[in-house]
Structure 1
Amino acid sequence: MVDPTSDHHEDIDEDEAPECATCGTPIANEVTHRVITWIEDNSVETAHFCDEECRMEWQ
């Protein structure tokens, strides 16, 4: 898995890219990539989204 703090829109292979939490599409080299982060059970959780529309559908 790619470091969630890196620039996912630059030179990422689809097999190493995170998947959209809403539609499941690999997010590789997309400038529309969105990430939200939260704390749950004393650990950091993240959810990746291919664009703002998928992010809004997840809520």
Structure 2
Amino acid sequence: MVDPTSDHHEDIDEEDAPNCAVCETAIANEVTHRVITWIDGDAVETAHFCDEDCRSSWNGA
């Protein structure tokens, strides 16, 4: 897994890249990549988005 705080748009292979939480597209080497991080109980959760449109349309599920 790729560190969610790293620069995902730099030299990431598609098989190692996270998928968009909305459209499921692999997010490899995209400067439009967005990440939301939150705490759920004792765990840190993250959701990745390929762009601001997907980020805005996410329902938080």
- Counting matched residue pairs gives 59
Over the aligned positions, Cα root-mean-square deviation in angstroms equals 0.6
| Runs ≥4 residues deviating over 2 A | none
Runs of 5+ unmatched residues, structure 2: none
**Partner of 1:6: helix, strand, or coil?**
coil
Q: Which residue of 2 aligns with 1:26?
A: 26
Paired residue for 1:39? 39
User: TM-score, length-normalised on structure 2?
Assistant: 0.93
* Displacement of 1:42: 1.4
Q: State the identity as a percent.
A: 76
- TM-score, with normalisation over the residues of structure 1? 0.96
5+ residue gaps, structure 1, are none
Return the offset for 1:22: 0.2
